[in-house]
Amino acid sequence: MTTRRETARDLFDLVDRNAREAGNQPVPQATVDALVEAGLHAVMTPRAVGGTEVSVVEAIDVFAEISRADGSAGWCLMANAATIAFFGAWTPDDFAKTLFADGVPLAAGQFAPNGAATPEGDGYRITGDYHFGSGVRHSAWVGAGVVTEPDDGTDPQLLFALMPAAEVRMTGNWDVLGLESTASWDYSIDGVWVPSSATFDFFAPVRRRGGAVYELGVMGLTSAGHAGFALGVVRRALDELTAIARSKQRMGSSAALRDSERFLAEFANLEARARAAASWVHERFAAAERTALETGVADPTEVLLARQATVHATQDGADVIRRAYLLAGTDGLRAGPLQTCFRDIHAGSQHFFAGDLASIELGRSLLAD
């Protein structure tokens, strides 16, 4: 039986070719359609609403394979897959029936609390301005993080809300160093009403369907997507360096790179670092999921270790690619996959999920009495 990872790997040529033809334009619709037709956007979505609900490690491998073909396509895929999975697992039945009436749709959005939600009837009136809407260009639904403004004296909540894309205004603003084709546009929401059933509590979502993997929460599951992205882009960069090394001969040298002992030693070291990062990502996410399956709840330290594996894969991966870029000489300088990997991983390294917060929280957890 073909695994989802194998399905993703089989799409390499199509995704890679489309990316080269698109240049810095948004991920082509043909790529998006191929990913949807293969069901890859639904790998994290509960089976109860039409998803495939694969293990978190297999989902990471899917994101890695697509990111290996095109970092921007992989980035958008993991954003779409995580967003729709959240609403498949954590929203009430009435909204889930509407959302998944025609299969698993594409959804994306920023969950940073950049909006306000005022109670109105059985829902909220939402207004806010958002950034980095990766995947919104081709999504039917758009999400938004909001802070409630209770009128009964209760404490505010951080919610993630979902609404039809037609009710959201795209404002652009995506002129960046890397991940150019993600079209991660800014967008604004002006007084859109959403039912309370189209929201969930960001910090304490209630699992209504799906397995215990959804106990990993927003932070754990989103981090898995970023890990897959980083692993795939690093793998592509080293594959490109391998191809260059087999034929390249530096100016002033009588031997090809493959015959240089200095090159061979550093190349092997980069491979070791990339494979070690992949192994640690697989180990930590598998452990976090296993604990949730065995106990019915997530272990906070296990989730933090998994998030730290993502930080490591991204930040160390950026250094691995930088060194690969230098080893490739002018081949890395010219437009092509290696240069794209260089720019994409450095763009990814600026994201919240590659930042210090997970490391700080893990440090505190490990040092706690």
Domain boundaries, the chain: 4-99, 107-201, 212-367
Q: Which pLDDT tens digits describe the chain residue by residue (369 residues)?
A: 789 999 999 999 999 999 999 999 999 999 999 999 999 999 999 999 999 999 999 999 999 999 999 999 999 999 999 999 999 999 999 999 999 999 999 999 999 999 999 999 999 999 999 999 999 999 999 999 999 988 887 899 999 999 999 999 999 999 999 999 999 999 999 999 999 999 999 999 999 999 999 999 999 999 999 999 999 999 999 999 999 998 876 655 656 788 888 899 999 999 999 999 999 999 999 999 999 999 999 999 999 999 999 999 999 999 999 999 999 988 888 899 999 999 999 999 999 999 999 999 999 999 997
Rounded to 5 degrees, what are φ and ψ at 229? Answer: -55, -50
Cα(358)–Cα(338) distance, rounded to whole angstroms?
A: 29
177, 225, 236, 204: which is closest to 353 by C-alpha? Answer: 225
Terminal C-alpha separation, the chain: 48
Cα(353)–Cα(314) distance, rounded to whole angstroms?
A: 9
Residue 131 host element (H or E): strand 123-133
- Are the CB atoms for 140 and 107 separated by under 8 Å? yes
pTM: 0.96
Q: Residue 299: its pLDDT value, please?
A: 97
In the CATH scheme, what architecture does the domain 107-201 have?
Answer: Beta Barrel (2.40)
Query: What are the angstrom distances between the C-alpha of 264 and each of 115, 271, 286, 316?
Result: 52, 11, 33, 20
- Are the CB atoms for 198 and 91 separated by under 8 Å? yes
Rounded to 5 degrees, what are φ and ψ at 85? Answer: -65, -40
Name the CATH code of domain 212-367 (choices 3.90.1150.10, 1.20.140.10, 3.30.540.10, 1.20.120.1460). 1.20.140.10
- Are the CB atoms for 257 and 297 separated by under 8 Å? no
CATH annotation of 4-99? 1.10.540.10
87, 108, 96: which is closest to 26 by C-alpha? Answer: 108
318, 325, 323, 322: which is closest to 351 by C-alpha? Answer: 318
- Residue at token pair 């600026």: 350
Q: Which two tokens stand for residue 101?
A: 């009436």
Q: Residue 183: its pLDDT value, please?
A: 96
Q: Residue 250: its pLDDT value, please?
A: 63
Q: Which amino acid is at 329?
A: G
- Are the CB atoms for 76 and 104 separated by under 8 Å? no
Pairing of strands 123-133, 107-119: antiparallel
The neighbouring-strand residues paired with 125 are 118, 193
- Are the CB atoms for 207 and 89 separated by under 8 Å? yes
